Amino acid sequence: MINKLKQKLMLSVKRNSAEGMLFSGGLDTSILAVLSPNIAAINVSLENFAPDLKFAKMLEKFLHLKTYYLTIKTDEAISVIPQIIKILKSFDPAIPNDITVYFGLKFAKKLGLKSIMTGDGSDELFGGYDYMKEINNLNNYIQQISKKMYFSSNEIGKYFGLKIEQPYMDKNFTKFALSIDKKFKIRKEHNKVFGKWILRKAFEKDLPKEIIWQNKRPLEYGSGMTKLREIISSKISDDEFEKKKKIYPIKFFNKEHLYYYEIYRKEVGEIPKPKNNQKKCPGCRAEMERTAFHCNVCGYVICKKRG
């Protein structure tokens, strides 16, 4: 099973080859880098707040990878939020992730690249998120979310005129990944439970131990963009937040969510109303597909199916 996974992913990378890659130094993109030795790797980080940098530089040296490092200033990151919300037509609190993608793809365009590879889909297919460790019927859950996977890299890629390649989401590879039982995805190793266990084992001889057995870090955390959440939240007082929660018909998660929503209202407009008899998002009342767990407009998650 482990060798077959490696072979399947190698073939998928060949089918979905690209000139450049959004490279975090995390497990998923590190594996893609091993399989794409001549690719141009682009790493994006926020000034002074980037845990991923040490992993990216370690792998750059290990693989002799051609790597470009972009350091984004805080003010610069905040200034592009309206443009990103306008592109995605969303005020999902995952915006800090999208900022990293935006700057990476913008730089790829500047380099003259035509196609960019991403590690999208790996966490969803191989149980990479921490919350997945608590789901009993994980096989069924992964089957369900695999049908509705959505990534901002596709929309932002269109905006910049770039072709986005996603080897983990390749139709044939996805089919194989879904056939793998959860016991090979979430499993104990080195006295610790890891997600993406089989993916780690398949490439443990190709990458340094520190890369293979690193903990899962959200893109926004690894790039340092999490720091923006504190800065954005500080722009809205407690009183203002409480007043506006009563004015707007939205279930806000926090001040940051409100901040994004007000930009959405300015850049996009009102939330489109559902058509007759369509499912409504409990958070913002936008239209949702009946089988969807996540609202692409506001980021509301209906449930995680832990049963």
Q: What are phi and psi of 206, to 5 degrees?
A: -100, -15
pLDDT band at 303 (very low <50, low <70, confident <90, very high): low
pLDDT at 51: 67
* Distance (Å, whole) CA 198 – CA 126: 8
pLDDT at 307: 37
pLDDT band at 48 (very low <50, low <70, confident <90, very high): low
pTM across the whole model:
0.91
**Mean pLDDT across the stretch 243-259?**
96
**Mean pLDDT across the stretch 236-264?**
96
Q: Which residues, in sequence order, are CB contacts of 276 under 8 Å at separation 6+?
A: none
pLDDT at 148: 82
Percent of the chain with pLDDT over 90: 75
Residue 15: count of CB within 10 angstroms of its CB:
13
* Distance (Å, whole) CA 156 – CA 133: 31
The secondary structure element, H or E, covering residue 46 is strand 40-46
Record the tokens describing residue 42, joined without a space: 């682009």
Domain boundaries, the chain: 2-222
pLDDT in tens, 277-289: 778 999 999 998 8
* Distance (Å, whole) CA 291 – CA 209: 39
**Mean pLDDT across the stretch 181-209?**
95
Domain 2-222 has CATH 3.40.50.620: yes
* Distance (Å, whole) CA 46 – CA 44: 7
pLDDT in tens, 9-30: 999 999 999 999 999 889 999 9
pLDDT at 306: 40
DSSP assignments along 140-151, one per residue = HHHHHHHTS---
Question: Do the beta carbons of residue 286 and residue 293 sit within 8 Å?
Answer: no
pLDDT in tens, 144-183: 889 888 899 999 999 999 999 999 999 999 999 999 999 9
Q: Which of 41-50, 115-124, 205-214 has the least mean pLDDT?
A: 41-50
